[in-house]
Structure 1
Amino acid sequence: MIPHLLIFDPSRSSAEVILKYIEELNYTAEHAIDEHSFWTSLQERRFSILILESTSIPSEGDSFFGKLKQNYPDLLIILTADESIWSNVSQYLNQHRAYDFIPKPVEKGKFKIAVERAFDFFILKQKAETVKEGENVLFRKMIEIFDWKKSLTGKESDNIAGHLIHQMNISLFQGSGIGTLMSIVSVLLSKSKFDESTSTYNINKNLFELIQENYEAARGMIDSMTVSQTIIDDSENVEDFLPPQTLFEITNEEVSDLSEALSLKNQKISVSGLPSGLSNSNLRCNTAKMKNVVRELLINAMKYSKENDTIYIIFFLKENFLELKILNPAYENSDHSVGVTGKHEQLVFEPFYRISSVVDDNYAKYEQFRFGLGLSLVRKIMEQHNANIEIYTIENNIRENKASEVCLTLRFPLKR
């Protein structure tokens, strides 16, 4: 989706500067010089952002912004004004009538940051709506989609053991780690030369470095197995109740800590704010365990997304539950399914199960859990929090091609 902006500014010269910046950002825009052309443009086109010069605001500012909110609730407004009249425009920011403010003369760097941030927020709002719509459709098909008892009976159950053994083999013996280490040791035993004068074996430098590299990878796998075993053996339920803000802070901390991992594919993560209505509410939360949950889910989303993709994290308040949703683009799998659908919706929580047979070692150093145990351990931790986890694919109605997205939901009951 290419951002389409409307500029409402009676000055052609200042508008031309902004239009140039917009063109350099590869966005599109239109310019309205008076109130009549402004409202006409809004009626005829769909804009995501309005660049509003403060002197263009009619004297009846409250009714002007009220009309905008009523007819174009998704439109984000960025004000431009001389800093000398800051007090006149600050009221609109304080009243949440406008999203942001850029002082004049408009600098390219500040303009770019403000517009990109506004567009991210615009997409987040659209995502929230499309998730609600997609889930409504999904829930109407719930019996068909989530009939897991049926999927575990008859011929289907006979295939699960084979699936798990296959995925276990991939997890443990493909990529760097135990499988490669065993291959290198085999080469070492066959290629090392014995020096009788010193009673030592000599090995090639490159071979030694390969052994060292894969020893570290294998040790990381063993450390991960130790952590995994600790979680598996832990049968205690979480009894600590903390404010929802804690979960929000954990999420943002993990996003920040994974900046290096995001750079592997030039990806980014956009996080919404917490919804209103959470005052005097608490939820079960063990911070150390929840950090592991959020990290695992974000790394999974990165792995199964592609170059330059954006991953969205949206918080919802539904009845007496706080939901954290992670959305990333859905792509076709080797079995021609798209995203996580059908039998995969339950099988992905089974130990060692992977939808893809390709092991991506690039993320190994960021992972706490390894070899296909991630979602199984995440579900175990969520159960300890008396919370729920679901994953499915929904249709994204934001883009014209109606691409699908994987939607993973963590649902926490609230204690008022």
Structure 2
Amino acid sequence: MEGKRILVAEDDAVLGYYLKQQLTALGYQVVHAKDGKIALQYFQDNPFPVVITDHEMPGLNGEELITALNANDVEPVIIMITGNTDPKFIVKMMKLGIFDYIIKPIQEYEISIKVKRAFEFYGMKRVETISRKEQQLRLEGQLEWIQWKEKMSSVGKFKRQNQNLFESLKHSFCQGAGFGALVSILKMIRDSCEFDGKFYKIESELMELIQTNADMAEKSLNQFAEIDSLINSDVSLEKYTIQEFYLELKTWLDEISYILNVQNHKAVISDINQNHSVKFLLVNGICFKKSFIEIMTNACKFSVPNSTITVIIKVEQDWFKCAVYNEPIPNFDGTIGIPIQYEHLIFEPFYRLSKNVFEQYRTLDYGLGLSYVDTCSKKHNGKISIFNVKDHLDWNGNPKTKVAFQIALPIQHVN
């Protein structure tokens, strides 16, 4: 529960004590303020991600406290406690910017559920904020300048990059399961088999290894064939409303729970604006599902264990955007995230920044997965990008680098 801090603004000493005890028992770090003025001071001294406030309080009442809190650069997620059940009052509070409300008398299960949802919402809200800040930086040209400079300085490095590509290819085929392992096993058979008339005797364990790695080699060839077929043939596109496609994404997330469980990752997905839900997309469901699972699998492979992978869905101008954010493990050289000079190179066939084999995910690890995603995106007239973002909003104080993988599809206009 590191960083899961809650500020409770409640002038009723009994209710304040009850809330603190219940939330502490759930694993949260709770600070209780006896009125709105003290609560605001606590927040300004050390901001909280979630604030629970009563409506009627001395000093500052609930409405005044909410207004003051939302004037900060980083707005907390606010839950209001009230005994007022008038719908007009509730609507008024929602317009002020509260996330949710709890009607007195308070039920223990309701507190637990709504606070959990508040922290999930806070996580997505934070990711959206850092995404906007990063986008502003890019639009202002700061990162474009760095990218241009890197490209100019890399003119003389083409041979080295080309060599790196083929070294990566060689490494991929010579390690782990599949082709490389088959070569090693066949050498072992050559050295250990016994000739018996018309037959050779080999160890049963070696035969089992041959069968296992032959299956992996077959999967590799099938993946080559899939990419080749995708490149050289037309794909059939079906019409989806954004709402329908959003529900498909949620279903696919549910289906990959086994991938998330490998390193105890958690995935959360943002809601969509209902104003956009009736707009249309043209999508090949099979191709895009495979691409989405590939993106999520990559996020899991290279994420810090026990971390959250956030999927942000948004509509900007004429584009539907699906962005996957993860907190990456350090690279082999100690750097964090995707070096900017490799943001395009990683989509090339066989290119891999990491030379590790991830056996627990049962993937091929030949550097072909993102090539498939890139090809799928082009078949949809889409756009794909991967870049780092700096999260300066972590309540623990230290900025974190996160990797954002975004795929965008054009919205179709109905005549």
Distance 1:292 1:65, change over 3 A: farther
What's the C-alpha RMSD, in Å, of the aligned pairs? 3.4
Q: Which moved more, 1:353-362 or 1:204-213?
A: 204-213
The offset of 1:26, in angstroms, is: 4.2
| Secondary structure at 2:384 match in 1 | strand
Aligned twin of 1:340: 338
Q: Is the 8 A contact 1:148 1:346 kept in 2?
A: no
Distance 1:312 1:147 in 2: 30
State the AA in 2 paired with 1:191. S
| Aligned residue runs from structure 1 range 80-95, under 5 A | 87=85, 92=90
| Aligned residue runs from structure 1 range 320-335, under 5 A | 320-335=318-333
Q: Is the 8 A contact 1:78 1:102 kept in 2?
A: no
Q: Is the 8 A contact 1:8 1:33 kept in 2?
A: yes
Distance 1:149 1:247, change over 3 A: farther
Distance 1:2 1:70, change over 3 A: closer
Distance 1:279 1:248 in 2: 9
Q: Which moved more, 1:332-341 or 1:62-71?
A: 62-71
Distance 1:152 1:322 in 2: 35
Q: Is the 8 A contact 1:74 1:122 kept in 2?
A: no
Distance 1:195 1:268, change over 3 A: same
Distance 1:402 1:123 in 2: 15
State the AA in 2 paired with 1:207. L
| Secondary structure at 2:389 match in 1 | strand
Q: Is the 8 A contact 1:271 1:314 kept in 2?
A: yes
Q: Which moved more, 1:311-320 or 1:205-214?
A: 205-214
Aligned twin of 1:222: 221
Deviation readout 1:138-164 (Å, 9 max, x if unpaired): 332244344499469742322333122
Distance 2:217 2:160 in 1: 30
Q: Which moved more, 1:324-333 or 1:303-312?
A: 324-333
| Secondary structure at 1:334 match in 2 | coil
State the AA in 2 paired with 1:165. F
Q: Which moved more, 1:242-251 or 1:176-185?
A: 242-251
1:378 correspondence with 2:373: yes
* Unpaired stretches in structure 2, ≥5 consecutive residues: none
| Secondary structure at 1:355 match in 2 | coil
Aligned twin of 1:302: 300
Aligned twin of 2:186: 185
| Secondary structure at 1:323 match in 2 | strand
TM-score by length of 1: 0.83
The offset of 1:294, in angstroms, is: 0.9
Aligned twin of 2:130: 130
Q: Which moved more, 1:90-99 or 1:21-30?
A: 90-99
The offset of 1:74, in angstroms, is: 2.9
1:396 correspondence with 2:391: yes
* Unpaired stretches in structure 1, ≥5 consecutive residues: none
TM-score by length of 2: 0.83
Q: Which moved more, 1:301-310 or 1:91-100?
A: 91-100
The offset of 1:224, in angstroms, is: 2.2
Aligned twin of 1:414: 411
Q: Is the 8 A contact 1:322 1:414 kept in 2?
A: yes
Q: Which moved more, 1:386-395 or 1:221-230?
A: 221-230
The offset of 1:389, in angstroms, is: 0.7
Aligned twin of 1:23: 24
Distance 2:281 2:119 in 1: 31
The offset of 1:117, in angstroms, is: 2.4
Deviation readout 1:56-111 (Å, 9 max, x if unpaired): 589x9995687367546833233567xxx79558973897444264885644x664
Distance 1:192 1:148, change over 3 A: farther
Distance 2:372 2:153 in 1: 21
Distance 1:36 1:154 in 2: 60
| Aligned residue runs from structure 1 range 81-230, under 5 A | 87=85, 92=90, 96=94, 97-99=98-100, 101=102, 106-107=107-108, 111-139=111-139, 140-147=141-148, 150=151, 154-194=155-195, 201-230=200-229
Deviation readout 1:155-207 (Å, 9 max, x if unpaired): 232233312211212222211122112212322233234556xx655443433
Distance 2:337 2:224 in 1: 28
Aligned twin of 2:268: 270
The offset of 1:405, in angstroms, is: 1.3
| Aligned residue runs from structure 1 range 59-98, under 5 A | 63=63, 67=67, 70-71=70-71, 74-78=75-79, 87=85, 92=90, 96=94, 97-98=98-99
Q: Is the 8 A contact 1:50 1:75 kept in 2?
A: yes
Deviation readout 1:20-62 (Å, 9 max, x if unpaired): 34334543211134455445544554222223457x589x999
| Secondary structure at 2:310 match in 1 | strand
Deviation readout 1:313-368 (Å, 9 max, x if unpaired): 11233223222211112444234543112321111111100111222222225x7x
Distance 2:383 2:46 in 1: 42
Q: Which moved more, 1:286-295 or 1:90-99?
A: 90-99
Q: Is the 8 A contact 1:232 1:377 kept in 2?
A: no
Distance 1:355 1:90 in 2: 56
What's the % identity of the aligned pairs?
23
Distance 1:112 1:62 in 2: 21
Q: Is the 8 A contact 1:238 1:284 kept in 2?
A: no
